[in-house]
């Protein structure tokens, strides 16, 4: 069943980008980003993720097509659309001698917003930066600097936040902290678009997944539906005897004997009306092939992603 579409906060229509070198980084991209969602943009190196984000944020000019942000065109109404967007860039270029507070207040001013110390206090507290507000940015740890980048991006109260590889090179603990920060922002109604190489990151926090490859969006899907639709299930049975040949009654089943015939793996479609498990177990019993344990696994988003990108090649 198709989920009812929520209103879009960002509409990307037939967007193409060719760099002056002649390289076409985006090819007629169409993408509707729903208000209040977390969408993960997945793709291999050089797929066009940063280019797409950069066009939407007005950093790179499109060659063709249009982008509407919160009802306004990114070129005709650049200032207005940009003020609705916060961008956390990939590069950590925060070697500043300024304090956290000064930097974040200054960034807010750049967007023409009146000072609002109580908002900034709340923001810094939510990012666990309040204690560090008077510290010089260059003295902070890598993780703290990343939090400062998020604070800067949120300083002007944007409705939409782009995170370009938010957890690249950070440790597991900080990654989990980041995920909590992103979830909290969504609760506050901020729409979040993140690019990531870590598929488990998309699996963990995204509502929808968009896969981009060679400048083209090859799939946009609700994460849960995607995993149900494309995630094959496997039933694995630990046999108590070594089996060399499978009973003829199991012809047509997608079965594999591994571990020298002591394990049987059955791959099936979890969406199918009949998954065949009852019959499989029945045939094994009748054929006197006993097993001592069984478990099922579903393919991860990583496997689905690798398969999708491979099919496109």
Ligand X SMILES: Nc1ncnc2c1ncn2[C@@H]1O[C@H](COP(=O)(O)OP(=O)(O)OP(=O)(O)O)[C@@H](O)[C@H]1O
Q: How far is the CB of 223 from ligand X (least distance, A)?
A: 20
21 near ligand X (CB under 6 A): yes
Alpha helices in 98-164 (DSSP H): 100-110, 117-126, 142-154
> b/e for 109-139, b at 16 or more Cβ within 10 A?
eebeeeeeeeebeebbebbebeebbeeebee
Read off the tokens for 305.
Answer: 């992603």
Return the closest-CA partner of residue 284 out of 255, 310, 256, 246: 246
Write the DSSP symbol of residue 22: S
Binding mask 252-291 for ligand X (x = CB under 6 A): ----------------------------------------
The answer to whether 10 and 67 have CB atoms below 8 angstroms apart is: yes
51 near ligand X (CB under 6 A): yes
Q: How far is the CB of 1 from ligand X (least distance, A)?
A: 32
Q: How far is the CB of 42 from ligand X (least distance, A)?
A: 9
Q: Give the whole-angstrom CA distance, residue 174 versus residue 145.
A: 12
Interface with ligand X (CB under 6 A), residue from 25, 33, 94, 140: 25
Interface with ligand X (CB under 6 A), residue from 2, 5, 45, 93: 45
19 near ligand X (CB under 6 A): yes
Query: How many Cα atoms occupy the beta-carbon half-sphere of 307 within 13 Å?
Result: 11
Interface with ligand X (CB under 6 A), residue from 6, 14, 30, 46: 46
Q: Which residue has the tokens 């939409």?
A: 160
Q: How far is the CB of 210 from ligand X (least distance, A)?
A: 12
Q: Which stretch binds ligand X (CB under 6 A): 46-54, 72-80, 117-125, 263-271?
A: 46-54
Q: How far is the CB of 212 from ligand X (least distance, A)?
A: 7
What residue ranges bind ligand X (CB under 6 A)?
A: 19, 21, 23, 25, 43, 45-51
């Amino acid at each position: 069943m198709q989920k009812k579409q929520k209103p879009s906060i960002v509409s990307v229509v037939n967007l193409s980008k060719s760099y002056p070198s002649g390289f076409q980084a985006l090819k007629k991209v169409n993408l509707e980003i729903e208000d209040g969602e977390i969408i993960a943009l997945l793709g291999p190196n050089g797929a066009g993720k940063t280019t797409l984000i950069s066009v939407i944020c007005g950093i790179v000019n499109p060659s063709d097509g249009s982008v509407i942000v919160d009802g306004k065109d990114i070129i005709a109404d650049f200032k207005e659309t940009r003020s609705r967007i916060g961008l956390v860039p990939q590069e950590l270029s925060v070697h500043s001698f300024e304090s956290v507070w000064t930097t974040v207040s200054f960034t807010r001013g750049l967007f023409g917003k009146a000072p609002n110390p109580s908002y900034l206090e709340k923001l810094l507290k939510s990012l666990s930066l309040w204690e560090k507000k008077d510290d010089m940015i260059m003295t902070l740890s890598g993780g703290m600097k990343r939090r400062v980048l998020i604070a800067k991006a949120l300083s002007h109260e944007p409705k939409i936040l782009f995170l370009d590889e938010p957890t690249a090179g950070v440790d597991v603990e900080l990654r989990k902290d980041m995920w909590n920060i992103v979830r909290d922002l969504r609760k506050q109604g901020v729409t979040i678009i993140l690019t990531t190489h870590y598929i488990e990151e998309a699996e963990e926090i995204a509502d929808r997944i968009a896969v981009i490859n060679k400048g083209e969006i090859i799939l946009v899907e609700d994460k849960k539906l995607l995993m149900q639709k494309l995630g094959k299930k496997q039933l694995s049975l630990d046999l108590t005897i070594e089996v060399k040949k499978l009973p003829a009654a199991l012809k047509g089943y997608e079965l594999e004997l591994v571990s020298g015939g002591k394990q049987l793996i059955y791959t099936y479609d979890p969406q199918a009306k009949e998954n065949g498990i009852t019959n499989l177990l029945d045939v094994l019993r009748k054929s006197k092939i006993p097993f001592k344990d069984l478990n099922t696994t579903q393919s991860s988003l990583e496997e689905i992603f690798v398969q999708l990108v491979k099919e496109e090649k």
